[in-house]
Amino acid sequence: MERGMYIFLNKTIVPEQDAVVSVYDHGFLYGDGIYETMRAYNGVVFMLEKHLDRLARSASLTKLTLPETGFITDAVYRTIEANKLSDAYIRVTVSRGKGPIGLDPALCKEPTFVVVAEHFKEYPEHLYRDGVKLVIAKTRRNLAGAVNPKIKSLNFLNNIFAKMEAKERGAYEAIMLNAEGVLAEGTISNIFFVKDELLCTPAAEVGVLDGITREIVLNSAIKSGMRVSEGAFYPSDLFNASEVFFTNTTSEVMPVSQVELIAYHVGEVTKSLHALYKEEVAAYMKRYGKSD
């Protein structure tokens, strides 16, 4: 019989079947909460400190109280160890907590804190070799003035609508535009493309979450002598690109073979930047005392 998983809930590790959150939790009722996803390589959580900094930023912007950083770090590693994991997917979720029905955050006396860690299953190799198909969603990215994209929020309906469009059209991921029709981001990813030997990605100002993988890729590109542009781009810019890829914590650097009806080669820039990302992971592992 397969061993059940263990979850860190509030202050302790509990078996999955005991990891129960109230139906009055405002994360469930209103999507009032924040989260971070991370990836562990050989037992080391990559860029944990950056993820916790971003979680703290989300908490500040939503006026949500977080446990101390040391407590969260300990909870993450205790959850990994409890599940006897090495390569792992980790999600830290903090909701407003349990309270009476109503929008006032003051109704909730204490946040709900959850850490989930699961075995990370590598993406199929053919995706990196052949690339994946993307579409441009009709669903627009939330206005930055309505929901600040710097908040990694549990309120994900906007992205879910775009993901549904991608699935209905046989695509792997959807690209969302902002209200002005400018390229923003994927449903769970940042978009990059190469045009005229220039590496381009939408700037944070157009309404994107500034991904940690995005930052590493940009820094790696600059260090390698590549020209980089963060700006406001349109679908026409993407359609005239020579290479397209997206980034996020779990898939790292994922090549794109098609956007709408436009086909792309999985090019040398994409391959090079993925290799450089892997080098960053290896260097981080070495710095924290573990290596492959």
pLDDT band, very low/low/confident/very high, at 4 (cuts 50, 70, 90): confident
Q: What pLDDT digit, counting tens, does each position of 23-34 carry? A: 999 999 999 999
Q: What pLDDT digit, counting tens, does each position of 140-165 carry? A: 999 988 889 999 999 999 999 999 99
**Contacts (Cβ under 8 Å, ≥6 apart) of 286:** none
Instruction: Report whether pLDDT(133) > 60.
Output: yes
Instruction: Report whether pLDDT(290) > 60.
Output: no
Domain spans of the chain, in order of start: 6-119, 125-283
Instruction: Report whether pLDDT(281) > 50.
Output: yes
Instruction: Report whether pLDDT(292) > 60.
Output: no
pLDDT of residue 206: 95
Give 182's DSSP letter: -
Q: What pLDDT digit, counting tens, does each position of 178-225 carry? A: 999 999 999 999 999 999 999 999 999 999 999 999 999 999 999 999
Nearest-angstrom CA–CA distance, 140 and 245: 20
Is the C-alpha dihedral spanning 216, 34, 209, 91 positive or negative? positive
- Prediction pTM value: 0.93
Domain covering 6-119, topology: D-amino Acid Aminotransferase; Chain A, domain 1 (3.30.470)
Structural element, H or E, at residue 272: helix 268-287
Nearest-angstrom CA–CA distance, 172 and 91: 22
pLDDT band, very low/low/confident/very high, at 20 (cuts 50, 70, 90): very high
Domain 125-283 in CATH 3.90.930.12: no
